[in-house]
Amino acid sequence: MKANGFRDDGDWRDLRNQAIVFFDEYMKESGTELIKLAELTQFIVLKQSLCYLFEGAQEALERSKTQFDDVKFICRRINELWIRSKMTEAELDGAKAPIWSDEEDFHAALRRVTVSKKTFDMPGMFPEDVPDDKPGDTTTLDPTKPTENPMNLLLPVYETMWRVVMRCFLEIKHRGAPNRSDWTAILRGYLEDLGDLACRPNDAFHKSSTTASSVRPAEIVKEALRLYPPTRRVHRMYYDEQVAANIEECHRFEILGGQDPLTFRPERWQNICTAQRQDFYNKAALSASIQKDWLNYRTAKDTLKNEEAKLGYMPFAHYCAADHPKTKEFASKMIALVVAVLCNGLKDEWELADPTSLPLTGVPLDSDRAAYEGLKLKRKAYSIGNEGGFD
């Protein structure tokens, strides 16, 4: 997916097709009757992140015989290390705090999925002669060197995505919302649009739907980011004083969330900063043509962002590359894409294995990192096939 400055926001067909392939791969390898939703979401998001961030990753993944297990291991280990790194000495109860240099299995798995093996033009030497854990690649990626560690890029992207994606999917498909069918249709339409050569992703993302509420894919993602911001809390030193901001709590105040701030309801965004939002939608539809349109788009984006921030909405904190005008909402579009792939692939054929695993309607999903790691979906008894998917 390449975009040329302000002139376009790229061809998303490869990203779309990759996500569908990764979904199908996981489902094929994981059985047909019971799946772990967190693991499925992590698998798709991590592989998408690898292929987008690292030039050699796609080839490395295609060559590796262990990539399926490697990707699952990396996802699991990231979560384990993050949780343990936040533990106090009392919580560790005598166990050693994680040390990155000791994570040799993690380093080896990262190498296998980020770099491809070097080809030797020597008689009798074949690529498979090169050990998997020490690829002979000339890349600068090296998990043991701080400045060359692929986790420097991978962690912010992966962590920004997968938890929001999973919770957005759960809100749409498994909380009993009255508009769930509309939201599903909107995202499936977005997925279909991205497969069209003539599609402009900005248009597809901001396009008003034909449903009764006219909700846009962008507004579904906005609502997911409101309830479940990737940056939940911010801690900074300010003139030698530690200060903190609870972004998640700000998002759930009445000033932004109205009378039902704890409910997932994308329709609310049509009544928040209405004039600035419509101006931004109008400018987003023009930003692919000439530089003047790009400058107008940037101004409209910044104006809307500042107005939303006054109401407490800052899902990526105040300044983040993920929310910079030049990225053209790439992170939000990717969230919509992966949620759409889950909705399209799982359809209405799966249900919660444990109906009590989610809170009652009106209570937000648990936003703790480890929450829902064990949540499973089971295939419904009446489901007979996999019709209606996209190729």
Q: pLDDT digits over 244-260, tens only? A: 889 999 999 999 999 99
Q: What is the pTM of this model?
A: 0.87
Looking at residue 390, what is its pLDDT? 57
The model's pLDDT over 342-370, given as tens digits with 9 standing for 90+, comes to 999 999 999 999 999 999 988 999 998 88
Share of the chain above pLDDT 90, in %: 60
Percent of the chain surpassing pLDDT 70: 85
- Helix H, strand E, coil C: the string for the chain is CCCCCCCCCCCCHHHHHHHHHHHHHHHHHCCCCEEEHHHHHHHHHHHHHHHHHCCCHHHHHHHCCCHHHHHHHHHHHHHHHHHHHCCCHHHHCCCCCCCHHHCHHHHHHHHHHHCCCCCCCCCCCCHHHCCCCCCCCCCCCCCCCHHHCCHHHHHHHHHHHHHHHHHHHHHHHCCCCCCHHHHHHHHHHHHHHHCCCCCCHHHHHHCCCCCCCCCCHHHHHHHHHHHCCCCCEEEEEECCEEEEEEHHHHHCCHHHHCCCCCCCCHHHHHHCCHHHHHHHHHHHCCCCCCHHHHHHHHHHHHHHHHHHHHCCCCECECCCHHHCHHHCCHHHHHHHHHHHHHHHHHCCCEEECCHHHCCCCCCCCCCCCCCCCCCEEEECCCCCCCCCCCC
Domains delineated in the chain: 12-120+143-272+313-345 (1.10.630.10)
pLDDT for the residue numbered 290 = 58
How many other CB atoms are found less than 10 A from the CB of residue 289?
12
Residue 13, pLDDT > 90, answer yes
Neighbours of 374 (CB within 10 A): 13
Q: What angle do CA 63, 69, 75 make, to 5 degrees?
A: 115
CA distance 110 to 239: 39
How many CB atoms are located within 10 Å of the residue 142 CB?
16
CB atoms within 10 A of CB 215: 22
**Average pLDDT, stretch 39-60?**
94
pLDDT attached to residue 136: 43
Residue 235: its pLDDT value, please? 80
pLDDT per position as a tens digit, 143-173: 999 999 999 999 888 987 999 999 999 999 9
Is residue 87 predicted with pLDDT exceeding 70?
yes
β-pair type (376-379, 350-352): antiparallel
Question: Which pLDDT value is given to residue 233?
Answer: 85
- Each residue's pLDDT tens digit, 211-247: 887 899 999 999 999 999 988 888 888 888 888 889 9
Q: pLDDT of 72-83, one tens digit each?
A: 999 999 988 988
Amino acid in position 39: E
